[in-house]
Amino acid sequence: MTDAAALLNGSEPIRDQAAPGPGVARGHILVQFLSKAVPLALIGGAVGVGAGALASAV
């Protein structure tokens, strides 16, 4: 199995020397990043839409 297929499949964790700790899988870091980035982006978008609506109403 290629490295990319293993990462997408999740069957084999790919180790990275630049990872924040020993034995941390790159896929785990990706999941953590996305689980924080996506909700923050959605919240930011909702706040922006709300501010735009408020500014338009005033």
The predicted pLDDT at position 50 comes to: 97
C-alpha separations of 14 from 2, 3, 33, 40, 41 in Å:
11, 7, 16, 27, 27
Q: What is the pLDDT of residue 48?
A: 97
Range of the domain at 34: 3-57
What are 25's strand-pairing partners?
15
Half-sphere exposure at residue 17, Cβ-oriented, CA atoms within 13 angstroms: 0
Q: How many domains does the chain have?
A: 1
Could you report the average pLDDT of every consecutive run of 10 residues in the chain (58 residues)?
A: 58 57 79 95 97 94
- The pTM score is 0.53
Position 4 scores a pLDDT of 60
Q: What is the pLDDT of residue 7?
A: 56
